[in-house]
């Protein structure tokens, strides 16, 4: 395993934010964490990028206990794109991306030619080349998000942690960012609220509810009508994508329409019958 959460528990003021979470993330795989608001997803991720110390449990990166690594070694191993990531200083896009190399550098040495190439390559892959000399504070939320992902990628981490990375992105950039992630060889743990994008992106998905892992498996195994009802509290139809065979969730906003109702009768019930 590249990453193993071994009975990870976070307790604050007597509240269990994460309880005995066990999760294996194989090398090169994309594992999603989904769950309702407040179910502990970000808290679990914060432990992996060491913004939070778990109350108990161990995080293994390869054969290393993460807690035993120096912060520098951790930063060489785990990169994160977080909800609170960002900067108040108006560095250029290139400068921000180049900061991703910091854990690998000694002192204030300038970037090597290979490192500069790496930065330019990451910017090109994320459609940022034309913004290289722009100040980060002048960018839109979506552009900024892509810059921060480029910074995380040039860190060349073994494990990449992403907490709702598609926030602020329009649909094209959501699809591009997630497609890009699938192509990288990096081991990824990602929190996504969009379950259809999670199904299309993740090799495996863990479902958190009130801090506990209540389901874990392939998207098809996990994203079921029962999960939607029991964990998220919504009625939904789960269908199979005609091209990729991924499960796709069709939400039902009108609880009074029986789930098995014929489309015409449903349209009639909604008053939209042609």
Ligand X SMILES: Nc1ncnc2c1ncn2[C@@H]1O[C@H](COP(=O)(O)OP(=O)(O)OP(=O)(O)O)[C@@H](O)[C@H]1O
Contact 162, 188 (CB under 8 A): yes
Nearest distance from residue 67's CB to ligand X, in Å? Answer: 19
The CA radius of gyration of the chain, in Å to the nearest whole number, is 20
Q: Is 12 in the site for ligand X (CB under 6 A)?
A: yes
Contact 170, 186 (CB under 8 A): no
CA–CA dist 29, 186 (Å, integer): 7
3-state secondary structure of 86: coil
Q: Number of helices (H) and strands (E), helices first, in the chain? A: 10, 12
CA–CA dist 201, 195 (Å, integer): 10
Tell me which of 38, 62, 141, 258 binds ligand X, using CB under 6 A. 38
- CB nearer ligand X, residue 43 or residue 187: 43
E-assigned strand segments in 97-182: 159-163
- CB nearer ligand X, residue 43 or residue 201: 43
Tell me which of 39, 77, 145, 209 binds ligand X, using CB under 6 A. 39
Q: Is 42 in the site for ligand X (CB under 6 A)?
A: yes
Q: Where in 18-37 is the site for ligand X (CB under 6 A)?
A: 35, 37
User: How many residues touch ligand X (CB under 6 A)?
Assistant: 10
Q: Is 68 in the site for ligand X (CB under 6 A)?
A: no
Q: Is 43 in the site for ligand X (CB under 6 A)?
A: yes
- Give the footprint of ligand X on this chain (CB under 6 A): 12, 17, 35, 37-43
């Amino acid at each position: 395993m590249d990453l193993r959460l071994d009975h990870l528990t976070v307790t604050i003021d007597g509240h269990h934010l994460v309880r005995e979470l066990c999760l294996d993330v194989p090398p090169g795989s994309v594992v999603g964490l989904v769950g309702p608001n407040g179910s502990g997803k970000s808290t679990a991720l914060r432990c992996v990028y060491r913004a939070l110390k778990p109350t108990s449990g161990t995080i293994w990166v390869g054969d290393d206990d993460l807690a035993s690594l120096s912060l520098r070694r951790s930063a060489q191993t785990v990169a994160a794109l977080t909800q609170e990531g960002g900067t108040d200083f108006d560095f250029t896009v290139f400068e921000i991306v180049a900061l991703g190399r910091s854990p690998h550098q000694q002192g204030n040495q300038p970037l090597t030619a290979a490192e500069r190439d790496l930065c330019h390559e990451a910017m090109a892959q994320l459609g940022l080349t034309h913004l290289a000399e722009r100040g980060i504070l002048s960018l839109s939320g979506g552009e900024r998000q892509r810059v921060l992902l480029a910074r995380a990628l040039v860190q060349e981490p073994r494990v990449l942690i992403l907490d709702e990375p598609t926030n602020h992105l329009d649909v094209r950039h959501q699809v591009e960012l997630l497609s890009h992630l699938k192509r990288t060889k990096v081991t990824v743990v990602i929190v996504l609220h969009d379950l259809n994008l999670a199904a299309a992106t993740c090799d495996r998905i863990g479902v958190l509810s009130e801090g506990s892992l209540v389901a874990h498996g392939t998207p098809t195994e996990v994203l079921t009508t029962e999960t939607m009802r029991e964990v998220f509290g919504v009625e939904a139809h789960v269908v199979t994508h005609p091209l990729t065979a991924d499960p796709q969730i069709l939400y039902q906003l009108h609880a009074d329409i029986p789930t098995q109702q014929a489309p015409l009768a449903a349209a009639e019930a909604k008053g939209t019958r042609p």
